[in-house]
Structure 1
Amino acid sequence: MPKVSVIMSTYNCKSYKALEKSIRSIVDQTYSDWEFIIYNDGSKDGGKTSDYLKKLGKLDSRIQIIDCPDNHGLAYAKNEMIKVARGKYITAQDDDDVSCPTRLAKEVNFLDNHPEYAFVGTVATVFDTNGTWGHYDLKERPTRKTFLWNSPFLHPSVMFRREILDQVNGYRVAKETLRAEDYDLFFRLYSKGYKGYNIQEDLYEYRIDNDPNKKYRPMSDRIQEAKVRYKGFKSFGMLTKGLPYVIKPILIGLIPQKIFYVIKKNRY
């Protein structure tokens, strides 16, 4: 029985090289007591992603591939992987990110020795096709107030205690959580009194493309995030203070892209 279950969902993978690098970063971890569940979420690319996964699944016997014929989104996919996961701890890996070699070992060690925390994540370096260009800073011990500006955790770096995810029924599958399933989950965990911690080491490499000519997120996604924020701050009993932050993603979406590019460069 593996102690850690790593879950990854992919859809219409665009880069075999990036996917392979991401998967190998788990295979090459210094910590070895894991299983790796990879979910093809109904890719519509003529079988390309499925073929990638079949080939990469041969890298290690601890890798399990699930091929779903239909696309349901991240929250649904993660719940399906959690159903078959056997680990005491569950963590994610985005299909174009990289985990540093000691990430799993250090997160397992933290949870083993800090029962007061329900989950643990890390800070990270930020990169794109041109290399490292920033840093993802997070508070070490987030409080409810830390949720106001952004999610206080980098979701793919977070390792959860399995029983905690079971107690909140995993990820919430709804229209508004299609691009904010992680933020919603952290809101629900904190509203029930659970706490998370961020290790202040760069144990994860997080891909964020920062192209001044590319729209980062459509307005429809920003409106859905606003709904998640509204429910979250309401559950915290801090809706009055949180209201200006509810509309924050919508206001940012109105900023011209070239200005937003500069803001992102200064943010990370």
Structure 2
Amino acid sequence: MISVIMSLFNEKKIWIEQAIESILNQTYSDFEFIIVIDNPDLSNDIKKYLLTTSKNDKRIKIIYNEKNIGLAKSLNKGIDISIGKYIARMDADDISLPDRLEKELLFMEKTNSDLVSAYKINIDENGNYLFKDSIMNRNINKTLKYTNIIVHPLVLVKSDVIKKMGGYRELVNSEDLDLWLRMVEQGYKISILNEYLLKYRLRANSASIERQLEQYYVSKYINKLSKERKKMNGEDSFSVKNMNIYLDDKNFSKRKKKKFYLSNIEIKKSLDYFMSNKYLKFSIHIIKAFIFSPSYTIEKIFNQISIKRMGNL
């Protein structure tokens, strides 16, 4: 059995309906569907829909949080009550393709992996097609040091493994990257299925100016913890207090947030032009990115070169 776990916070009703229906209509049907409501002020419309749907399908289990506790804690609550041999992640604004669970489970058994993910099709807020992620041959263990290539809402993981790892830690974001790195360090096998199995909704507010710089520093903090574990026999200094001390020491001024955001846009544009062999436009946007944030642009270029070198490892 698979335990599908989804946390719900501020998603639109139509998105929630599409997400839930995409799981209920899977070709693989031996699952429980644990939905954690992390929003005490959820609209009555959505509550009514969830109540009706759960009555009609006994595979659904709903947990209501008395207050907002965040994604990591909400997922851990679902993990704690799960009874499946495997745990699958799902987000309340995405759409799983009908054979997602079946294909991931077969791939996990075939490759003897502890965790598998796949590739996503990106859609906009209205469900319109935007683009597909590029399928690339990369050394997962080494690439995770530079970028998170595991699509979180596509993850299928062995239940005993994630429970042994203690689940997700209470980071302000990127709690999934922290878990993947800890798993790799413990010798667990992570694999990616080269198929598109999810429609991933890109929301206008999910990559805001406010969040991008914070996510960057949290990922740096996560890598710092990883280095500590390698020196301290698997132990690190993580605590919510220590994380906040680390972040409080960073410059989160509005000016820096905006420059970081603009630099990110230019870097993404430059990479698109590079992949299309449009080197003049690539150069123009890299220069713009450098003007906005020199150190971050150099770091991103270095990371991309490192990832490319590892492509055939």
- The one-letter amino acid of 2:110's match is N
1:228 counterpart (222, 230, 237): 222
Alignment of 1:199-214 (within 5 A): 199-209=193-203
- The one-letter amino acid of 2:174's match is A
Counterpart in the other structure of 1:8: 6
Q: Are 1:125 and 2:131 an aligned pair?
A: no
**SS in structure 1 of the partner of residue 63 of structure 2:** strand
2:260 counterpart (255, 258, 263): 255
Q: CA–CA distance in 2 between the matches of 1:137 and 1:221?
A: 23
**SS in structure 1 of the partner of residue 199 of structure 2:** strand
Aligned length, in residue pairs = 249
Higher helix content, 1 or 2: 2
1:37-96, Cα deviation, whole Å (9 max, x unpaired): 000013334555434422332452211111111111111111110111110000110000
Residues 141 and 196, structure 1, Cα contact 8 Å, conserved in 2 = no
Shift of 1:233: 4.3
- The one-letter amino acid of 2:224's match is Y
Counterpart in the other structure of 1:166: 163
**SS in structure 2 of the partner of residue 61 of structure 1:** coil
Residues 8 and 92, structure 1, Cα contact 8 Å, conserved in 2 = yes
Shift of 1:224: 2.4
Residues 88 and 157, structure 2, Cα contact 8 Å, conserved in 1 = yes
1:112-136, Cα deviation, whole Å (9 max, x unpaired): 3332x11111011111125121223
| More moved, 38-47 vs 136-145 | 136-145
Shift of 1:170: 1.1
Q: CA–CA distance in 2 between the matches of 1:92 and 1:162?
A: 12
| TM-align CA RMSD | 2.9
1:61 counterpart (58, 61, 70): 58
Counterpart in the other structure of 2:173: 179
- The one-letter amino acid of 2:268's match is I
Q: CA–CA distance in 2 between the matches of 1:226 and 1:253?
A: 19
Scaled by the length of structure 1, the TM-score of the pair is 0.82
- The one-letter amino acid of 1:97's match is D
Residues 209 and 257, structure 2, Cα contact 8 Å, conserved in 1 = no
**SS in structure 2 of the partner of residue 80 of structure 1:** helix
Residues 222 and 253, structure 1, Cα contact 8 Å, conserved in 2 = no
1:151-174, Cα deviation, whole Å (9 max, x unpaired): 12111101001111121111112x
- The one-letter amino acid of 1:124's match is K
Counterpart in the other structure of 1:83: 80
Counterpart in the other structure of 1:243: none
Q: CA–CA distance in 2 between the matches of 1:218 and 1:140?
A: 27
Q: CA–CA distance in 1 between the matches of 2:108 and 2:261?
A: 42
Q: Are 1:94 and 2:91 an aligned pair?
A: yes
Alignment of 1:232-247 (within 5 A): 232-235=226-229
- The one-letter amino acid of 1:9's match is S
Q: CA–CA distance in 2 between the matches of 1:198 and 1:96?
A: 22
Alignment of 1:130-141 (within 5 A): 130=126, 131-137=128-134, 139=136
Instruction: Pick closer, same or farther for the CA change 1:24–1:171 going to 2, 3 Å.
Output: same
Shift of 1:209: 2.9
Q: CA–CA distance in 2 between the matches of 1:111 and 1:152?
A: 17
Scaled by the length of structure 2, the TM-score of the pair is 0.71
Counterpart in the other structure of 2:187: 193
- The one-letter amino acid of 2:77's match is E
Residues 35 and 62, structure 1, Cα contact 8 Å, conserved in 2 = yes
More relative contact order, 1 or 2 (CA 8 Å, 6+ apart): 1
Moved >6 Å (runs of 4+): 250-253
Asked which structure has the greater CA Rg, the reply is: 2
Q: CA–CA distance in 1 between the matches of 2:98 and 2:34?
A: 18
* Structure 2 residue ranges without an equivalent (≥5): 232-251, 276-313
Instruction: Pick closer, same or farther for the CA change 1:51–1:225 going to 2, 3 Å.
Output: farther
- The one-letter amino acid of 2:272's match is N
Q: CA–CA distance in 1 between the matches of 2:70 and 2:169?
A: 11
